Amino acid sequence: MARDRERSGGPVAGLYPISTGSAELVPDGDSSDGWLLKINGVQSSHVVLGDPLRLDFEYMRWIVALVEDRFDPGGRSRLRVLHQGGGGCSMPRYVAARYPDARQVVVELDAQLAEYVRQWFDLPRAPLLRIRVGEAREVTESLTPGTRDVVIRDVFAGPYTPHPLTTVEFTQASARLLDAGGIYLANIGSAPDQVTARIEAAAIAEVFPHVAIVADPAMLKGRRYGNIIIAGSADPVEGSAVLRRRLLGGAMPAHFWDDAQVRAWIGPTRARRDPAEPETASGEPGGRNRA
């Protein structure tokens, strides 16, 4: 099977050189078509070739729950999505399967990785799914305002998002891309002290009149490092009964915090702003995309 896949360009276990270091493909012992993608030793993506609707990373399931609560897949198939962060394109594969006529752009920092992912994971072709190689901030600022329904930020340098992608100014650039009813979703890596998460949330809450958070109870109580998803929109982000049940029903049950709860949690924390001397869009060495 590995030889067949190698001849056809499909995934083969091993270590691969990429522009920003190395990528490793590891077979998933629970699925014959499952693959874990590691970037520089860090888990980046999980893909099951025959099942794009399977998302093994819990935070990704929270993101799609928020998207589907806002945009019914039965009535809004041509969703316009920007993914700030590419990795193995787990999320774009899911969106393509759930919204067959969706138009998606994925921003991937690493050109070689983007080429590999196209070969390995049977992604939809343009115009359904385009991979644009570049830094997330630079690409975001180059796009036409009002042309996206969903913007998903999932970019990391180590355990945290690079600073240039967490500022008020970058969040404003992302917000400008959203059409009426659109939603911005950011994956925040949070330590138990929640300092970084509050700073990032403060920027999003300053730009958007309506915000919400999804995370598991241990994260919300500051007991461990993990993921917090924060949503921002010009329209209310409501935690419907269906959404709340869905979030509680996962392998790692999650809670939904509404706008008032999020702003109370942020408290007096000040949002980060661009420095007078701008950093590079990657923020620091090793900054890269994850999805």
pLDDT in tens, 97-109: 999 999 999 999 9
CA distance linking residue 232 with residue 93, whole number of Å: 23
The predicted-structure confidence for 193-241, as pLDDT tens digits, reads as follows 999 999 999 999 999 999 999 999 999 999 999 999 999 999 999 999 9
**For the chain, what percent of residues have pLDDT higher than 90?**
84
Predicted local confidence at residue 74, as pLDDT: 83
In the predicted structure, residue 170 carries a pLDDT above the cut 70 = yes
In the predicted structure, residue 278 carries a pLDDT above the cut 80 = no
Alpha helices in 99-194 (DSSP H): 111-120, 136-142, 168-176
In the predicted structure, residue 3 carries a pLDDT above the cut 80 = no
In the predicted structure, residue 121 carries a pLDDT above the cut 60 = yes
Query: What rounded mean pLDDT belongs to the chain?
Result: 91
**For the chain, what percent of residues have pLDDT higher than 70?**
91
The predicted-structure confidence for 5-37, as pLDDT tens digits, reads as follows 444 568 999 999 999 999 999 998 887 899 999
To the nearest 10°, report the CA torsion of 221, 259, 234, 273: -50
More confident residue, 77 or 179: 179
Q: Distances in Å between the alpha carbon of 248 and those of 65, 165, 183, 289?
A: 11, 30, 22, 28
In the predicted structure, residue 259 carries a pLDDT above the cut 60 = yes
Per-residue pLDDT averaged across 111-136, rounded?
95
CA distance linking residue 100 with residue 97, whole number of Å: 6
Cite the beta strand spans of the chain per DSSP E. Answer: 14-18, 21-27, 34-39, 42-48, 80-84, 103-108, 129-133, 148-153, 155-156, 178-190, 210-215, 226-233, 255-257, 288-289
Q: Distances in Å between the alpha carbon of 45 and those of 39, 134, 160?
A: 9, 19, 16
Predicted local confidence at residue 291, as pLDDT: 56
Predicted local confidence at residue 289, as pLDDT: 52
User: How does residue 255 score in pLDDT terms, banded at 50, 70 and 90?
Assistant: very high
- The phi, psi pair for 9, rounded to 5°, reads 90, 5
Predicted local confidence at residue 87, as pLDDT: 92
The predicted-structure confidence for 80-91, as pLDDT tens digits, reads as follows 999 999 899 999
Q: What is 56-289's CATH topology?
A: Rossmann fold (3.40.50)
In the predicted structure, residue 286 carries a pLDDT above the cut 50 = no
Predicted local confidence at residue 262, as pLDDT: 98
In the predicted structure, residue 2 carries a pLDDT above the cut 60 = no
